[in-house]
Every structure is written in C-alpha cells, then in structure tokens.
Amino acid sequence: MYNRVLLIGSKDIGFNLLQQMYKAAPQNFVGCVTFDDSSDTRSRYGDIKKYCLKEGILVDVLEKSCNLKKSIEKYKPDICFVAGWYYLIPMDVISMVQGGFIGIHNSLLPSYRGFAPVVWAMINGEEKTGFSVFSLGDGVDTGDIWYQKEIIIGHKDHIGDVLEKINEQIFVFFEKEYLNILEGKIIPYKQKNENISYGAKRNHTDGLIDWSQNAIKVYNFIRAQSKPYPGAYFFYKDVKIRVWDVELFPFEIYGEAGQVGMIDAVRREVVVVCGNNTGIILKEVEIEDRIVKITECIKSLNDRVNSK
C-alpha cells in the first residue's frame, strides 16, 4: 500500500489528475509539484495553484527541473505520478521513491517514444494512437506498462479532438484503477521489443508548410499542429499566415506547388495547389493574431503562397 502520493504535473492533464487523485484519496495526497508555464496558451498554472490553496494542498513551483530532488526530500512520497511534465527525471531521483514514478505517454509504447507523439502520429497519417501509463526508468519512455488504451484518429480530427479523446480515457482509467495502483492490485509488464520508434522534439519553425507534398500529407501536417498547438503556417508577401482548418480539394488541379489555383467567391474559399496535381482548401487562417477570411489575404489567382 502506497500511503504518500505526490503529483508532478502541469497543463490540463496535470490539473485534472490533481483533482481526481485528491478527491479519491485525500488522506494519501501529500503535495503537488508544478512549474510556472503561464506564457504557454495551454497553461493551467493558475488553476493548479488556486485548487491547492482551496483544498489546503502543499504545492511547490519549481524554477528549475533540477530542484525536483529537493521536493522529493521534502515530501518523502511512497509513489509519484507525473502528468504534463516536460523534463527528464534522472534515475538518482527516481530511485529515491519506493514505488517509483508513474507517467503518462500519449502513444502505444514502444511506438512513438520521445517528443510530440500525437503530432508525429498525425503527420504520418496514422489511423490510431493511444496512451500508455508506464513506470519511468533510465531510458526514454522504456519503462514497464501499467495500462494502454487505443484511440482512433478520425479522418477529420484535428489534434485538439484527438487529445480530448485521449484525456477522457485517461480520466476513466484513473477513476477505476487509481486506488488499485495504490493498493498494489495492478502489476506492470515489460514493453515489447518490437515496433519501436521515436519522435524528435518540435519547435515553432517546424510548422512551415511544404506545398510540394501531396494534399493528403499537407492536410495531415496542418491538422496535426492545429489548436492548442501553434499551428502550421506559410508566408504571403512576407506576412506569416497560420492555418487552422483545411479540407482536401476533391478534384485534380494543375499548377505549381504553392500557387493559388482557385478562389470560390461564393464559398469564400481558396484552393492552393499541392504536389501531384492535388489541392487543399483553406478554411480558416490567422494573420497578425486575427482569424480572417482567407480571401482578405489573397486576392489574385496568379499569386503564389511562398514558403521561406
């Protein structure tokens, strides 16, 4: 039986699990560790602090990830849960906790270990993803599995839709099994040594659209980086335009990749030519922090959407 539980987390997943775990067993909950990510649009930092204050939960706000060791020494947990944490936890810290660290990774491990697993899965056109509840160890997402759940990626899903599906199922799992974990009624198992893959870290510059790819790849690329992420983008006359919503153009269209091939004045849509005579319909874009009709940005059929 694990009597002293510490949560290390941020974002929606960290905030929601904080509430769920505390309500399920407040007597076991010794504290919460988070960091100030309020500059991130996905931040729930303020909500985490307010909830902890309301319930009388001790909370540490780390300025550096290396300070986590001090929090472990302070709270002396029997087991730690990690959700929405973007820093590697070294083995000397993990070994301080009897029950170890249990984390959540948004893929069906051992596939898509590492960074941005759902983004990479959608960019690659995968039809399914999922999440894994696993023990942290000395490798990148290589620890034993406590639970996995497959999630279908719908053809019209944007990444926000997929993340919502994943989070819903994560909360279902913890609602049913959290106390069973604390009571030692669930035994983790080793990861399979097959279908192993890794995702590299992504940053804002990785969202530049390559119109020379076929429309399906462009479509997947855009919806994989839609809200709550920074969005895929292109340049028009040196102005950066973010793309939030698109559709596949159902016909062949001829032109140079990146050329505006058609403007539908009735539907107020623009079709951009992609590779292999395919096209993308731009539905919603953002320019200078304003959501605008694409026809306000591009007026001429002869204009090109220049990637720089």
Q: What is the pLDDT of residues 156-209, one digit of tens each?
A: 999 999 999 999 999 999 999 999 999 999 999 999 999 999 999 998 889 999
Asked, colleague to colleague, whether 5-198 and 204-296 share their fold, the answer is: no
Query: What's the predicted TM-score (pTM) here?
Result: 0.89
Judge whether 273 and 245 are in contact, CB under 8 Å.
Answer: no
What are the residues whose beta carbons fall under 8 Å from the beta carbon of 150, sequence distance 6 or more? 108, 128, 129, 130
Q: How confident is the model at residue 300 (pLDDT cuts 50, 70, 90)?
A: very low
CATH of 204-296 among 3.10.25.10, 3.40.50.620, 3.40.50.9100, 1.10.3720.10? 3.10.25.10
CATH architecture of 5-198: 3-Layer(aba) Sandwich (3.40)
| Percent of the chain at pLDDT exceeding 90 | 77
Q: What is the pLDDT of residues 92-129, one digit of tens each?
A: 999 999 999 999 999 999 999 999 999 999 999 999 99
Note the pLDDT of residue 100.
95
Domain ranges of the chain: 5-198, 204-296
> Mean per-residue pLDDT for 233-246?
88
> Mean per-residue pLDDT for 269-277?
93
Look over the chain and give the mean of its residue pLDDT values, rounded to a whole number. 91
> Mean per-residue pLDDT for 49-72?
93
Note the pLDDT of residue 290.
67
d(CA 260, CA 303): 6
Q: How confident is the model at residue 263 (pLDDT cuts 50, 70, 90)?
A: confident
d(CA 95, CA 110): 23
